[in-house]
Amino acid sequence: MEQEAQTKNKSGYRKYILIFWSLFTFAILAVILLFTLISQGRLGYIPTFEELENPKSNLASEVYSSDGYLLGKYFIENRSDATYGELDTNLIAALIATEDIRFFSHSGIDFKALGRAVAGALMGQNKGGGSTITQQFSKLLFHEVPNSKTRRVLQKLNEWVIATKLEQRYSKEEIITLYLNKFDFVNNAVGIKSAAKIYFNVTPDSLKIEQSAMLIGMLKNSALYNPVRRPELVQERRNVVLNQMVKYGFLEEEACDSIKLIPVDMSNFKRQSHLTGQATYFREYLRGKLKQWCATHIKADGNPYDLYKDGLKIFTTIDSRMQQYAEEAVVDHLSKDLQPTFYKHWKGHTNAPFYFEKNAKEEIKKILNAAMRRSERYRKLKAHNVPADSIILSFNTPAPMTIFSWAGEIDTVMTPMDSIHYYKFFLQAGLMSMEPQTGYVKAYVGGIDYKHFQYDHVTQGARQVGSTFKPFLYTLAMQNGLSPCSKFANIQPIIYLDNGDTWEPRNSGSDDIGTEITLQYALATSNNWISGWLIKRFSPQSVVKIARNMGVTGFLDPVPAIVLGSSDISLYEMVGAMNCYANKGVHIEPIFIMRIEDKNGNVIESFVPETREAMSEETAYLMLNLMKGVVSYGTGIRLRLTYKFDNPIAGKTGTTNNHSDGWFMGLTPELSTGVWVGCEDRSAHFRTLYLGQGANMALPIWALYMKKIYADSTINISMGDFEPPLEPLSVEIDCDKFKDDNNTKTVVDDDDF
């Protein structure tokens, strides 16, 4: 009996042992099956070998100046990759100490940390997370946020598999770099390179210990630990990171105590946006050109380049120092001088800032209604099928808004229609500057503030050019045997038109009537009668041909009045055309990009400007001689008298007949620069020639810009003279040999019309 009972007990033990081992084997097989299914992607997304070798990410395309300054980016994610060598050692130490102290010894999963985290969860205690840096990176790279606990568990298992695969294919240093490059530090700072730039205006290798600790602290939850919104909370989290560095021997406790007292410093924080920063108008113009380029250039995978994802590096011709000086010159002249004068000039006038001789109220209403229909608010309301009367009501209902002022943005309440009228008072400006011999555009200012005024007055806008058109006519004269010293009678010509009418150009005033004056003196004083005699001698069609050869592509009406600047031409075209004189008669198309590289630094395309001969070298030199007179004793003499320039400068002022547009084109041997100033609407302008002339509106910007350039020894722009042709001139240019009183008179006002 006893033996039978023992046999029965042994049989029972065997049964339990068999069940145990069966369950254990089943569990092992289930785990193996589970991870096999995970590896095959049956229970969630698992990347392929190719995807692990080349993880997909959105890389911002970067725009660089010719002197190596990052002007801006085009991005969906504002992310630029840093290399491991670019990471500060304290940044890496803070990461290891806070997130994964055994990072360099495990193979993707830290079972000790995992066990501690599980035990803590079962005991209701927080003993730290179990995820390694590799797992955190895999979560960032391949998974979306789960919408249930079950999906999170599966995702966690997927992360284990991905982490082990990542460890097989990447070095530890590469995993750290990939992780920090991928993490979103909020405020448009994706990746450690963007974060260092946006929060502290430094590169990752220049981060201070407290800065590194702050950024690593954000890895826990960047939305929560946002230094812009919660600096006190971020400081607490940063100090936790510093304590971890002390705990694991990366930082001395005494140094830690001192660093913890330093407050979170956001004084250098600057959110990156296409609306702010340097060369905003240029970057927006470039965006359109680059999108066209991307659409016609194919990558190795057969797809066209994506400006916002492929991490292109665009190396432009812009010089960041010249760009800064150009932007400063525009701001200085308009904010401190011209705009206050404009306000004072119109103070107390009912229809300010518009000038109409009749039907003023009706005309102003048309202008404001047209501006309303062009506004973004109107387009959105229209797109949502809002009735017309409701739209009008919306534009006449006060609303909170932020408006531009030269003293800074103003938060206020006004009707949208009042804001439209408010913005009509602002004088706008455009400036473009290029190297004569290379065609490289060195500075580009399309307006006064891109955030509030997005119309580009360099390439997008075209305005009447006034007397800046006259050099085209004088070029024709120089090509046909005349010289700067050739004389014409200063009397009003009568030109008979094809329709039987007559055209008689007028000057605003002259006491040289009936005398003979040289072409140099006539151009210097912007004499319209001499221009009339020249167009009568040649033809409007011939002038149009000259302008075309020099790069003007816009519409030119071949009528006699063309010589007084009645045509609308862009500043871009005018600078490119006038540059022919400084480039010895060769037209060189203004160029903005030197080369484009892919994300790996391979040059995809280099750019060379188009060139063609527009005139002979002698003609170009004769025109420079003529235009020097403008600065020496003509309408541009303010450069000598007020701004004390004594170096050779060829220039031309321009003003339209109602003073709505002021121009100045200034040429030096190494820089051709044009400036335009005027209001958005041609009917908004100064009421007097003295205030509205190009010499008062545009010339000072050129002067302020060039003063800064000459003062900067790092730019090294010469103040020398233009190089004469190798061959002797066929005409005499020393008008002193024919000197009389008429040729020495100085005129300050710009008598364009």
Token readout for 60 is 């911002």
State how far the Cα of 290 lies from the Cα of 279, in Å rounded to an integer: 16
The better pLDDT of the pair 460, 13 is held by 460
The answer, yes or no, to whether residue 233 has pLDDT greater than 90, is yes
Measured CA distances, 60 to 193, 310, 409, 438, 510 (Å): 11, 7, 29, 29, 60
- Model pLDDT, residue 50: 56
Q: Is the CB of residue 283 less than 8 Å from the CB of residue 72?
A: yes
Q: Bridge-partner residues for 655, per DSSP?
A: 662
Identify the three-state secondary structure at position 534.
Answer: helix
Q: Is the CB of residue 411 less than 8 Å from the CB of residue 440?
A: no
H-helix segments, 583-698: 617-632, 638-641, 689-692, 694-697
State how far the Cα of 673 lies from the Cα of 662, in Å rounded to an integer: 14
Counting every residue written for the chain, the total comes to 753
Q: Is the CB of residue 715 less than 8 Å from the CB of residue 620?
A: no
- Model pLDDT, residue 496: 83
Q: Lowest-pLDDT range, 44-53, 440-449, 739-748?
A: 739-748
Measured CA distances, 161 to 34, 272, 713 (Å): 11, 37, 59
Q: Is the CB of residue 459 less than 8 Å from the CB of residue 552?
A: no
- Indicate the DSSP class of residue 98: H
Q: Within its chain, how far is the Cα of 193 from the centroid? A: 20
Encode pLDDT of 680-737 as tens digits. 999 999 999 999 999 999 999 999 999 999 999 999 999 999 999 999 999 988 888 7
The answer, yes or no, to whether residue 30 has pLDDT greater than 60, is no
178-193 core/surface letters (b: 16 or more CB in 10 A; e: else): bbbbbbbbbbbbbbbb
Q: Is the CB of residue 45 less than 8 Å from the CB of residue 142?
A: yes
Q: Within its chain, how far is the Cα of 732 from the centroid? A: 47
The reported pTM is 0.85
Q: Lowest-pLDDT range, 107-121, 294-308, 438-452?
A: 107-121
* Confidence at 159, pLDDT banded by 50, 70, 90: confident
Looking at the chain, the number of H-run helices and the number of E-run strands are 28, 20
Q: Lowest-pLDDT range, 137-146, 299-308, 649-658?
A: 137-146
Task: Write the DSSP assignment of 676-741 as a string of letters.
Answer: EEEESSTTBS-SSHHHHSHHHHTHHHHHHHHHHHHH-TTT-----PPPPPSSPPSS---GGGG--G
Identify the three-state secondary structure at position 616.
Answer: coil
* Residue 195 neighbours by CB under 8 Å, 6+ apart: 185, 189, 215
Encode pLDDT of 561-607 as tens digits. 999 999 999 999 999 999 999 999 999 999 999 999 999 999 999 99
Task: Write the DSSP assignment of 394-417 as a string of letters.
Answer: HHTS-EEEEE--TT--EEEEE-HH
- Model pLDDT, residue 54: 58
- Model pLDDT, residue 753: 34
Cα(first)–Cα(last) distance of the chain, in Å? Answer: 134
Identify the three-state secondary structure at position 480.
Answer: coil
- Model pLDDT, residue 100: 87
Measured CA distances, 346 to 106, 340, 613 (Å): 75, 10, 47
The answer, yes or no, to whether residue 121 has pLDDT greater than 80, is no
The answer, yes or no, to whether residue 160 has pLDDT greater than 80, is no
Token readout for 284 is 């927006």
The answer, yes or no, to whether residue 671 has pLDDT greater than 70, is yes
Encode pLDDT of 126-136 as tens digits. 455 568 888 88
The answer, yes or no, to whether residue 520 has pLDDT greater than 60, is yes
* Confidence at 746, pLDDT banded by 50, 70, 90: very low
* Confidence at 750, pLDDT banded by 50, 70, 90: very low
The answer, yes or no, to whether residue 152 has pLDDT greater than 60, is no
The answer, yes or no, to whether residue 652 has pLDDT greater than 50, is yes
If you average pLDDT over residues 624-645, what whole number do you get? 96
* Confidence at 14, pLDDT banded by 50, 70, 90: confident
State how far the Cα of 586 lies from the Cα of 448, in Å rounded to an integer: 32
Cβ neighbours, 10 Å, residue 291: 14
